[in-house]
Amino acid sequence: MKIGFIGLGNMGGPMAANLAKAGHQVTGFDMADVSIGGVTMAASGPEAAAGADAVITMLPNGAILRLVAAEVIPAMTKGAAFIDCSTVDVDSARAVAEQAEAAGLLSVDAPVSGGIGGAAGGTLTFMAGGSADAFAAAEPLFAIMGQKAVHCGEAGAGQAAKICNNMILGVTMIATCEAFALADKLGLDRQKMFDVVSTSSGYSWTMNAYCPAPGVGPQSPADNSYQPGFAAELMLKDLGLSQQAAESADADTPMGELAMALYKRFVEEEDGKGMDFSAMLPRFEKRSRDG
């Protein structure tokens, strides 16, 4: 296939490279001066999109997605697929899907889970929204860039699934870090706590697979001085999207709201920027009940 790929950063670059390695003809564009193995660089987004069977975008936010879509969609061939893999607000995803469909394109919003390692290794999970026909057109490309793709429903459903998942993740990580800090103050050994909780009703992904305590459980960013696997500022972005969606949908999400406030303070006031989102543990270790 002839594929246009717009947004070749830490995630998009490896994804585009994997498509090229699989034998597809990939033309890329990024605002930064980047070079990706096997990818021919274009001078603009519309140039990368012209004549493509599919255009994939991986962009920072909904506002930029809307701008890029407005430029790129008119340059695309009717019947081609517009596949957005960015994590953006649901309203932007739906607006772009409407624009693409009005232009006679197949449209899929397909945010990813798996981080930079998953992008490089081709092991991402895609959460896709769009018609059955659009998902069928995108699925062979998802199979190259990832290991799993779930069709979640109509336009915007992929973004909805991603932000609901990550709201749970943010809230659960905070609870896990609070519990370790409390265990410390109660004199409970961290390994003993892990042995109990990881096989009891406190079992969770943040405890069992991504434990925030160094030297406890499987290898995680905590064992690498909290260098990010998933940066705190990215968690803050996703929690912000969850609260934007909650406001739009009139949903009561007090724990999500509090998690966003805590990560906002951590990133903006407490040197959390550039740290893994599990670095909430040393934050809580240093704090008393009164702050």
Tell me the per-residue pLDDT of 233-262, one tens digit each, with 9 for 90 and over: 999 999 999 999 999 999 999 999 999 999
In the chain, pLDDT over 90 holds for what percent of residues? 97
pLDDT of residue 115: 86
Residue 154 predicted with pLDDT over 90: yes
The model's confidence at residue 172, banded by pLDDT at 50, 70 and 90, is: very high
d(CA 146, CA 182): 38
pLDDT of residue 84: 98
pLDDT tens column, 261-282: 999 999 999 999 999 999 999 9
Q: Are residues 149 and 180 in the same domain?
A: no
Final residue belonging to a domain, choices 133, 155, 177: 155
Residue 116 predicted with pLDDT over 90: no
With a CB cutoff of 8 Å and minimum separation 6, the contacts of 184 are: 190, 285
- Looking at the structure of the chain, the number of domains it has is 2
pLDDT of residue 34: 93
pLDDT of residue 132: 97
Q: Are residues 141 and 227 in the same domain?
A: no
Domain carrying residue 75: 2-155
Q: Are residues 77 and 209 in the same domain?
A: no
The model's confidence at residue 225, banded by pLDDT at 50, 70 and 90, is: very high
Q: What is the CATH number of the domain that holds 57?
A: 3.40.50.720
Q: Are residues 203 and 80 in the same domain?
A: no
**What is the number of H-type helices and E-type strands within the chain?**
12, 9
Final residue belonging to a domain, choices 106, 125, 155: 155
Query: How do strand 106-109 and strand 124-130 relate by DSSP bridges?
Result: antiparallel
Least confident of 118-122, 167-171, 231-235, 286-290: 286-290
111 assigned to some structural domain:
yes
pLDDT tens column, 70-115: 999 999 999 999 999 999 999 999 999 999 999 999 999 999 998 8
The model's confidence at residue 289, banded by pLDDT at 50, 70 and 90, is: confident
Residue 142 predicted with pLDDT over 80: yes
d(CA 254, CA 19): 41
pLDDT of residue 139: 97
The residues annotated as belonging to the active site are 162
d(CA 127, CA 113): 8
Contact by Cβ (8 Å): 198, 180? no
pLDDT of residue 192: 98
Q: Are residues 272 and 171 in the same domain?
A: yes
Q: Are residues 84 and 108 in the same domain?
A: yes
pLDDT of residue 180: 98
Residue 291 predicted with pLDDT over 80: no
Final residue belonging to a domain, choices 155, 187, 222: 155
268, two tokens: 């903006």
133 assigned to some structural domain:
yes
Alpha helices, H only, the chain? 12-21, 45-49, 62-72, 90-102, 115-121, 132-145, 157-185, 190-197, 205-208, 232-249, 254-269, 280-286
pLDDT of residue 126: 98
With a CB cutoff of 8 Å and minimum separation 6, the contacts of 114 are: 123, 124, 125, 146
- At residue 272's C-alpha, the angle toward residues 265 and 171, to 5°, is 65
